[in-house]
Amino acid sequence: MTEGSNNSQSNNGKLVLKLVAVVIGMFGFAFALVPLYEVFCQVTGINGKTSDTAAIYESIEVDHSRMITIEFITRTNTGMPWEFKAQTRKVEVYPGEMNQVDFYVKNNTHKDYVAQAVPSVSPGTAALYMNKTECFCFNNQPLAAGEEAIMPMKFYVDPQLPKDIKFFTLQYTLYDVTASAEGVAMNQG
Partner 1 sequence: MSTATTELDHDDHHHHAPSGIKRWLFTTNHKDIGTLYLWFAFIMFLTGGAMAMVIRAELFQPGLQIVDPNFFNQMTTVHGLIMVFGAVMPAFTGLANWLVPMMIGAPDMALPRMNNWSFWILPMAFTILLASLFMEGGGPAFGWTFYAPLSTTYSNDTTALFVFSVHIMGISSIMGAINVIVTIFNMRAPGMTWMKMPLFVWTWLITAFLLIAVMPVLAGAVTMVLTDKFFGTSFFNAAGGGDPVMFQHIFWFFGHPEVYIMILPAFGIISAIVPTFSRKKLFGYASMVYATTSIALLSFIVWAHHMFTTGMPVGAELFFMFATMLISVPTGVKVFNWVATMWRGSLSFEVPMLFALAFIVLFTIGGLSGLMLAITPVDFQYHDTYFVVAHFHYVLVTGAIFSIMAAVYYWLPKWTGKMFDVTLAKWHFWCSLISVNVLFFPMHFVGLAGMPRRIPDYALQFADFNKWISLGGFAFGLSQLIFLALLIKACRKHGEPVSDQVWEGAEGLEWEIPSPAPYHTFDTPPVIK
Residues that bind partner 1 (CB under 8 A): 1-2, 4, 8, 11-12, 15-16, 19-20, 22-27, 29-31, 33-34, 37-38, 41, 44, 46-49, 52, 77, 116, 118, 122-125, 173, 175-177, 180, 183
Nearer to partner 1, 38 or 92 (CB): 38
Least CB distance to partner 1 at residue 133 (A): 21
Least CB distance to partner 1 at residue 22 (A): 5
Q: Are 72 and 168 in contact (CB under 8 A)?
A: no
Least CB distance to partner 1 at residue 120 (A): 9
Nearer to partner 1, 44 or 88 (CB): 44
Q: How far apart are CA 91 and CA 85, in angstroms?
A: 15
Q: How far apart are CA 68 and CA 77, in angstroms?
A: 28
Q: Are 114 and 106 in contact (CB under 8 A)?
A: no
Nearer to partner 1, 9 or 87 (CB): 9
Instruction: Please give the C-alpha separations between residue 157 and each of 22, 27, 81, 100, 188, in angstroms, as whole numbers.
Output: 46, 40, 32, 12, 37
